[in-house]
Structure 1
Amino acid sequence: MNQTVEDLRTINDKLSKREIELDPGGYFIIYLDRDARLICAKHFTNVIDDRGLAVDPETGKPIPARGKVERTHTTLFTGRTAKELCVVIFEQTQPCPVTMLDHAAYLGREFMRAEFALISGQEYVQD
């Protein structure tokens, strides 16, 4: 069976809507710095409460998944490629800010999407 690009997009869109457990190590906001030709990942710490929600460690308030949030990142990671960024985060940063394998896999996918967008000139929006 030959799958079309639309078939693959439908699969990915459906999987993007699934429930996920949040990483107690924190979360990343990924974006491109086109002028510097870099993939950037701001790391933010969080605490997971007893409801499974990410809360701001300073205020104890839930961090919204959508919309603008006024928080200061703990670290800014940058790389020219997805692989370079993964090496910096997963191999050179101790302790590693990512504590869950599914989070690591997600970041790898997102960094590859960001790298493709950087090279191709397409827009990048984090999933």
Structure 2
Amino acid sequence: MNKTAESLAAIDDNLSKRDIQLDPGGYFIIYLDRDAGLICAKHYTNVIDDRGLAVDPETGKVIPARGKVERTNTTLYTGRTAKEICVKIFEETQPTPVTLLDHAAYLGREFVRAEIALITDKEYVQD
């Protein structure tokens, strides 16, 4: 990695450590289906409690940020490009399941990263 790429990566790594407000509209797990050539995003509902934590609306249990969670997604969105999946989520689904602008911006960034990984055959891990 060159010096510029390293300094830019350091900026993003530092920003990834900031506190964020969780979206009461839910969260997405993003992954690639390489065989089908698709970017996939499973949407899960949640409720934000008075502590600002995401909880399962059915069980009331806190949803951990790390580790495996056994939940059923409400919707699966797919697209061949970042733009296509964004149009499906933000324009074709009404009301959109994303209620915060910073969450929308994050998803856009992640979908672009996923598209680049799909095109370049690199590994994609959601940030």
The one-letter amino acid paired with 1:89 is I
Q: CA RMSD in A?
A: 0.6
State how 1:1-127 maps to structure 2 within 5 Å.
4-127=4-127
Tell me the distance in 1 between the aligned counterparts of 2:50 and 2:76.
28
Tell me the distance in 2 between the aligned counterparts of 1:108 and 1:99.
14
Tell me the distance in 2 between the aligned counterparts of 1:88 and 1:60.
29
1:90 CA drift (Å): 0.2
Aligned residues: 125
**Identical counterparts, % of pairs:** 81
Residue-by-residue CA offset, 1:91-120 (whole Å, 9 max, x unaligned)? 000110000000000000000000000000
Tell me the distance in 1 between the aligned counterparts of 2:25 and 2:91.
16
- Structure 2: tracts of 5 or more residues without a match: none
Moved over 2 A (4+): none
Q: Name the SS for the 1:4 alignment partner.
A: helix
The one-letter amino acid paired with 1:6 is E
- Structure 1: tracts of 5 or more residues without a match: none
The one-letter amino acid paired with 1:45 is T
